[in-house]
Amino acid sequence: MPYVTIKMLAGRTEEQKRACVEKVTDAIVETTGASRDKVVVFLEDMKKSEYAVGGVLLSDEE
Quick check: 2 and 28 in contact, CB under 8 A? Answer: yes
Does the protein bind its own copies through residue 61 (CB under 8 A)?
no
* Binding of residue 10 to its own copies (CB under 8 A): no
* Active-site residue flag, 26: no
- The residue among 3 and 62 lying less far from its own copies, judged by its C-beta, is 3
CB 22 within 8 A of CB 12: no
Residue 38 makes CB contacts below 8 A (sequence gap 6+) with 1, 2
Residues that bind its own copies (CB under 8 A): 1-9, 12, 14, 16-28, 30-34, 36-46, 49-57, 59-60
